[in-house]
Structures are given as C-alpha cells and as structure tokens.
Amino acid sequence: MTQTLLHNARLIDPEAESETPGALLLEGGTIAEVIAGPLPEGAFPGATRIDCRGAALAPGIVDLGVKVSEPGERHKESFRSAGRAAVAGGVTTMVTRPDTSPPIDTPEVLEFVSRRAREDSLARVRPMAALTKGREGREMTEIGFLMDAGAVAFTDGLRVVENTKVYYRALTYARALGALVIGHVQEPGLSSGGVATAGKFASLRGLPHVSPMAERMALDRDIALIEMSGARYHADQITTARALPALERAKANGLDVTAGVSVHHLTLNEFDVADYRTFFKLTPPLRSEDDRMAAVEAVASGLIDVIGSFHTPQDEESKRLPFEVAASGAVGLETLLPAALRLVHDGHLGLPRLFRALSLNPARRLGLPSGRLARGAPADLVLFDPGAPFVLDRETLKSKSRNTPFDGARLQGKVIGTWVAGERVFE
C-alpha cells in the first residue's frame, strides 16, 4: 500500500490533550504510525513525504448539525458544494440535519441522501433522521429502520416536540435501541417570534425578544424526560448562563447527557445585530456578553462538550429582508475553525482542548472512530497555520449560500491541507 509521511508537524492530540512535534505515517486510509519528536534519519524510505513546516496537524473536524439542502433546496446548498466548503475548512465529517424538504423521516429518503452524499461530497457524511414524522411532533418515526439505513442520531431540528407524551414515548423507544436523541432546547411558547435576547439592547432596537429562561425551561423539561426514560441525549445548543446549572446537575446525577454550542454564540454577542444586519440573525438569537463568556468557560471546563458550525445556508432573497422577517441562520463550514481559534488566541482554550470539542467529543458521542491521532484511527486530518491572518471575503466561500456574519472580519487560522481516509482532498 502507498504510504504518506506527514513530518515536521505540531501534533494536536485531543485524546492525550497534548501538543508535541512529530510525524504521522498514513497507510491504507488509516494512521499507521504516530512518531513523537524528531524523525529518525532514513525512516520510512518508500513513503511519499510532505513537510508540514511546523504547522499544526490535528484530527479532522466532526461538525455536528450541518444543514445540507438536499432534497428540496439545492439552490441553497448541495452535497457537492457543502463537501467542498467542508474540506476547505478542515471539516472531514459532516453530521447532517434532517430538516430538508421533504424531511429525512423514512428509510427511502435517508438512502437517497446517503447515495447523493457518497457520490458528491469530498467530506464524509453521517446523516441524522427526524424523530417524528414530518417533524410535526405527533408520531415518532421508524427509529429502528432508520438506524439500519444509517442514521446516527434523531432530531426534529429547530422544532420542539411539544407533546410531552409523544416525546417520552420516542425517548423510551430510542433508549431500547441505543439511539441518540438530539433536542433543541427553546421553550416554544416563549421563544416564538423572538429574534433577539430580552434585555435593554433589544428594547432600544425595537426587536421582538425572548428571555434566556426559555432555554432553561426547555432543558429542564428534557432532563426530566431523560431521567424518566434513561435515553441517550444531546442538547444541540446551550447558549445562556442560566441553563448551565441544570446541565451540570444532569451530568452529576449520572444521566447520559451531553451538550453543544455554536461557534457563533461563542464568538459574537447581541451587540453585533446593532445595524440590523440579517447575517447575524440566528436561532437561538445572539446572547449577552455575560452569556457568551459563560458558554466559553463551560467549553473550557468540559461542561459543554461540542462546538459546531450549525451551518445553515440561506439565499440572498431570504436574508435581504427586514430583520424580523428575514430567515435565520448562517453558513459556517469554512469559518468554524478560524472563528473557534479566537478562543485560543484570547487565551481561553489550548488547541488540544479546542479539538476535543471540535473532533474527539462529537465523534465519541456518535460512536465514530475518527477524532483521534492514534494508530489505526482513520486518516482524517487537517493541517493548518493557527496564526495566519486574513480578512474574510464572503465571495470567496465555496458554499452556494454566503450568509456569514464574519464577512469583512479579521480572522486567524488558515487550512493548509485536509485528508479524508488518507487522501488529500484540499490543498
């Protein structure tokens, strides 16, 4: 088999939480050897050598919660364009949401999506399926059949299952099958129509707002149902300080609960919507600076497990509207890494801890073998220069939609190369 040697690298190992000089030998789509320290002279003479020139080499990002608009809205994003954007951003696995048109709620639709992904995407794709039929919250999907067809988790996306009895039955059934359920923790009555976080700033701007307690209330309900059912559960986005104590108690009580947060909520706050720029309209809305810092500290401590892009492509027509009626969401596959590196440059996280949240933890939660720099692990890798500065121009993004809040922002961290199964897919 062909061997590739990536040497003169800074190995970012999230499993060992270490950052050391070294090299990796790739063979047959996996990591064959991890070499710490200087490479012995004459080692691996038949391998194709790539000098990393001291750049950081880490496990490829496993991005949990990516929206790819197939089927139904290919003009916003296809598997081909999303795959190109992903590998340009160091994302080697996209865990895709089922909120498509039609939703991914049957094995037939799931198989169609999986086939399209295999044919068109440069990155790996692991699809999630809907928890209830039509994402309508009335009747659960055929969870077992969908798992057999390749679903790695079950969620209704941004829709909350309001009927508690239906939700409890679905959780109980999921527990019997060992399925992971992902919940959107926003109390629907309070959060309906809210486009900003309640507070003085939202009032001054005249924007309909939602209290941070909507997140806390929804999380409390879900935790109670998890305690009743014993299901495996992941909260998609925890963005407020008031929700964190409930999450901490759930983990302390031994519940099988994890949580994520979007990179936008870690690096932006409510003041960024001051000019009513709709590229900053997200779900949930951007929070106060106190909430942002609480989320950053929760990632640093490990209380919040996963950082994702929550890539949500929207076309120009749906964004160039008044703030209240514009579509929510932002693209993030290409900006996830440089945006997350702001936390490193600001001294909140080290690179190994960052890649625990970007790669190792989401892979572990989904039972995937990636996210590690270890012998026998998949050779899904990202090589990047964490200090390389640039100004983001959204017109250069590879996504079909370019609704990024980082347009014109000064960022640091450029991807030099991406490998999937040992094959270089971005340079």
Q: What are 21-62's pLDDT values in tens digits?
A: 999 999 999 999 999 988 888 789 889 999 999 999 999 999
Q: Are 16 and 410 in contact (CB under 8 A)?
A: no
CB neighbourhood size of 169 (10 A)? 14
Q: Are 398 and 72 in contact (CB under 8 A)?
A: no
The per-residue pLDDT for 292 is 98
What average pLDDT score do residues 252-275 get? 96
The per-residue pLDDT for 270 is 94
Candidates 366, 363, 357, 369; CA nearest to 421 is: 369
The per-residue pLDDT for 138 is 96
The per-residue pLDDT for 139 is 97
The per-residue pLDDT for 25 is 97
Q: 159-167 long-range CB contacts below 8 Å, 24 or more apart? A: 159/99, 159/135, 159/184, 160/184, 160/186, 160/187, 160/188, 160/218, 161/131, 161/132, 161/137, 162/137, 162/188, 163/137, 163/138, 164/221, 164/225, 166/132, 166/137, 166/138, 166/139, 166/140, 167/137, 167/225
pLDDT in tens, 85-112: 999 999 999 999 999 999 999 999 999 9
Q: What is the Cα–Cα distance from 224 to 216, expressed in whole angstroms?
A: 12
Enumerate helices (H) and strands (E) in the chain, giving the number of each. 14, 17
pLDDT in tens, 283-320: 999 999 999 999 999 999 999 999 999 999 999 999 99
pLDDT > 90 in the chain, percent: 92
Q: What is the Cα–Cα distance from 250 to 226, expressed in whole angstroms?
A: 9
Q: Which residues pair with 61 in a beta bridge?
A: 91
Q: What is the Cα–Cα distance from 411 to 25, expressed in whole angstroms?
A: 31
Confidence of residue 201 (pLDDT cuts 50, 70, 90): confident
The per-residue pLDDT for 1 is 76
The per-residue pLDDT for 80 is 97
Candidates 314, 310, 338, 335; CA nearest to 326 is: 314
* Phi-psi label, residue 199: left if phi above 0, alpha if psi -120 to 50, beta otherwise: left
Residue 242 has pLDDT above 90, yes or no: yes
Q: Are 370 and 93 in contact (CB under 8 A)?
A: yes
pLDDT in tens, 374-424: 999 999 999 999 999 999 999 999 999 999 999 999 999 999 999 999 999
pTM: 0.96
Note if the bond before 40 is cis, omega within 30 degrees: no
Candidates 375, 388, 374, 262; CA nearest to 328 is: 262
Average pLDDT, whole number, for the chain?
Answer: 96
pLDDT in tens, 163-175: 999 999 999 999 9
Residue 189 has pLDDT above 90, yes or no: yes
Domain boundary assignment for the chain: 59-366
Confidence of residue 75 (pLDDT cuts 50, 70, 90): very high
Beta-sheet pairing, 30-36 with 232-235:
unpaired
Q: What is the Cα–Cα distance from 7 to 286, expressed in whole angstroms?
A: 41
Q: What CATH code is assigned to 59-366?
A: 3.20.20.140
